[in-house]
Amino acid sequence: QALLLENQKQSTQITSMESYFRNGITAPQFAKGLNGVNSQKINDHLQQVKWLYKDGNNDWRVTSYARDRYMTEEPVPISPHGKEPFFTYRPVLLQKGAAKIYKWYTQQKLTMKSNWNGEFTQDKAVGL
C-alpha cells in the first residue's frame, strides 16, 4: 500500500517536471520556476556536485563528467565592435539533468530562499 502511494507520487512528480522542462534552458532559469529555490545559488550547488566549473575567464563551463549526461554547452557568438569575434559557452540542461535537479528539489538538497513557504510547486508561467 505504501509502495503504491510512493510510486503514484513519483509518477506525478515526473509528469509535472516533464511538462515544465524546456530544451535550451539554463539551470538558473529552470530553478526560477521551482517554488522556494534560490536560483542565484544553483550554479554553486552544481559546482559542488561536479557538474560545473569556472574557467579562466570566470565563466561557468560543464565538466566532462556531466557533459552530454546532465548538461551540454551552447556556443554564444560575441562580436565586439572593432575587435575579433569570439565564442563564449552557455551551460544548458538536458532532460536528465533537469530531472536530477527536480529530485534534489523534492529532497530539499538545494539552497532554498529564507522566505520559502514549504510547498513543492513549479510555476509554468515562468518566462522561458
CA-wise closest residue to 93 among 61, 110, 76, 70 = 70
- pLDDT under 70: residue ranges of the chain: 1-21, 123-128
C-alpha 64: how far from its chain's center? 17
Is 12 among the domain residues?
Answer: no
Is 11 among the domain residues?
Answer: no
Distance CA 84, CA 45 (A): 34
pLDDT (0 to 100) of residue 51 = 98
pLDDT (0 to 100) of residue 79 = 94
Is 112 among the domain residues?
Answer: no
Q: If residue 93 lies in a helix (H) or strand (E), which one and from where to where?
A: strand 86-93
Is 10 among the domain residues?
Answer: no
Asked if residues 65 and 55 have their Cβ atoms less than 8 Å apart, the reply is: no
pLDDT (0 to 100) of residue 23 = 82
pLDDT (0 to 100) of residue 1 = 63
Is 123 among the domain residues?
Answer: no
User: pTM score, two decimals?
Assistant: 0.78
Asked if residues 91 and 85 have their Cβ atoms less than 8 Å apart, the reply is: no
* Domain total in the chain: 1
Is 101 among the domain residues?
Answer: yes
Asked if residues 89 and 7 have their Cβ atoms less than 8 Å apart, the reply is: no
Domain span holding position 80: 23-106
Is 35 among the domain residues?
Answer: yes
Q: Grid coordinates standing for 70?
A: 546532465
pLDDT (0 to 100) of residue 126 = 42
